[in-house]
Amino acid sequence: MPTLTSITSSSIDSLTERVIDGERISPEEALELYRLPLEELGALADHRRQIAQAKTHRGKGNEIVTYIIDRNINYTNICNVYCKFCAFYRTGKDADSYVITHEEMDQKLDELTEAGGIQVLLQGGHHPGLKIDWYLELLSHMKEKYPHVNIHGFSPPEFNHFSEVFNMPLEEVIRRFKEAGLGSIPGGGGEILVDRVRNHVAPLKCNSDQWLKVMEIAHGMGLNSSATMMFGHVETVGERIEHLGRLRRQQDETGGFTAFICWTFQPENTKLRAEPVGSAEYLRMQALSRIFLDNFTNVQSSWVTQGPKIGQVALRYGANDFGSVMMEENVVSKAGANFRLESQEIETLIREAGYTPHRRNNWYELLD
C-alpha cells in the first residue's frame, strides 16, 4: 500500500488536500473520492482514522485496535416482515421456529461469562404475538442474574414493531425497556436508509425516518447505539452516500452513535436476486465511510462477513476496531457467512497488522 506521502504529491487536487486537513466533505465530493484508486482511498481513510483517534485511549489511539467479547443471541426467529435478503426468519408454523426460554438464556450467558464476555447482542424477528411483559421479564431476569453483562439489544425496526404491537408510543417502549435493563441499542436493520431501496428489499420493515427516530429518542434518553450499512444489492453508490449523510446529520444532532459498521449483502439462501460485490468494494466503502463520517470516532471491521484476512486488511482502510469474538451468530451464517474467531486469533491478526490489541466495552472504554 502506498503511504500518505506517496499520494500527496504536487499534483494532488484540492479535495484530497481537504481530506488530509480533516475537513468535512460533501456528498458530491464523496462520489469523487469513491472513484479514486483503492489504495489511495485507503491511505486517506487511514489518515482520517489517525485524526479521529488522536485523543483517545490515553494518547495511544493510533497504536490500539479494540475488540469485545460478546454473544449474539437471537431470542426468536419468528418474523412477519419477510425481508428478501434474510435467510434466518421463520413463520410460526415452521418446525424449526422458536422463542427462547429463560433457562436457555441462562445457559448461553453462563457460557459467555465463563469466556470472559461482558455483553450480549440481543436481536430477534418481528414476532407478532409476544407482548411487552415477555420482553420486560426477560430483560429484568438477565439484568438481575447477570449484572456484569451489558444488554445491547433490539434494533430500530424491532422497536417500531413493538410500538405497533403494544399500541404504545415509541418513547414509552424505549423508556420501559431501559428501566428493565437495556443498556444500548444495536444499529441493525439500517440496510440502506433510502426508502426506494427499503421498499424493494424489505417493504414491511420500518422506513428510513422511523429508523432514525428510534435512535433520536434513545440518544435523548442516554442510550448509545451503533450505526450500520448493509450494501451491495439493489442500491446505487449515490444512495449509499445518502445513507451516510443521514447518519452524519443524526450524529451532529445527538452524538449518540458509538461506531459505524458496514458489510456486504450475503446472498446464500435468500430471496433477493442481486449479484454480490467483492472484498475490494467492501474496502472501498469502508474507507469512504471513514472519511465521510467525520463525527464518528470508531469504525468496525466486518470480518464476520468478509473473513479474517480481509478483516485484518480493513485495519489499513479506516477501521480501528475488530468487532467481537461473537461466540454465537445465527443470521449472516444462514446466508452463507460462517467465519469464527477466538480472542487469541483476533489478537494475533491485530498484532500482525502492526497494532496493539485491547479489549473494550460497548462504549469503547479500554478494559484492564
Q: What is the mean pLDDT of residues 340-368?
A: 92
| pLDDT given for residue 14 in this prediction | 87
Residue 113's nearest CA partner among 75, 144, 73, 71 is: 71
Q: What pLDDT, on the 0 to 100 scale, is given for residue 10?
A: 41
Residue bearing the bigger pLDDT, 62 or 366: 366
Sign of the torsion formed by the C-alpha atoms of 363, 250, 190 and 61: negative
- pLDDT value for 9: 47
- Residue 84: per-residue pLDDT: 60
* Contact indicator for 77, 90 with CB cutoff of 8 Å: yes
What distance in Å separates the CA atoms of residue 6 and residue 14, rounded to the nearest whole number?
A: 16
Residue 12 pLDDT > 50: yes
Identify the weakest region by mean pLDDT among 89-98, 204-213, 344-353. Answer: 89-98
Structural domain boundaries in the chain: 44-359
Closest CA to 190 of 261, 295, 87, 293: 261
Would you state the pLDDT for residue 22?
Answer: 94
Section 300-323 average pLDDT: 94
CA distance 188 to 193: 12
pLDDT of residue 332: 42
Query: Over 70: is that where the pLDDT of 122 sits?
Result: yes
Q: State pLDDT tens for residues 131-149.
A: 999 999 999 999 999 999 9
What pLDDT score does 334 carry?
44
Q: Using CA of residue 292, residue 294, residue 295, residue 301, what is the dihedral sign?
A: positive
Residue 272 in this model has a pLDDT that exceeds 80 = no
Q: Identify the band that residue 164 occupies on the pLDDT scale cut at 50, 70 and 90.
A: very high
pLDDT digits (tens, 9 = 90+) for 181-192: 999 999 999 999
| pLDDT at 276 (0 to 100) | 77
pLDDT in tens, 185-243: 999 999 999 999 999 888 888 999 999 999 999 999 999 999 999 999 999 999 999 99
Q: Is the pLDDT of residue 60 over 70?
A: no
What is each CA distance from 191 to 5, 14, 139, 142, 230, in whole angstroms? 35, 32, 26, 29, 4
Pick the CATH number of 44-359 from 3.40.50.300, 3.20.20.140, 3.40.50.150, 3.20.20.70: 3.20.20.70
Is pLDDT above 60 for 96?
yes
Q: Which three-class secondary structure state does DSSP give residue 344?
A: helix
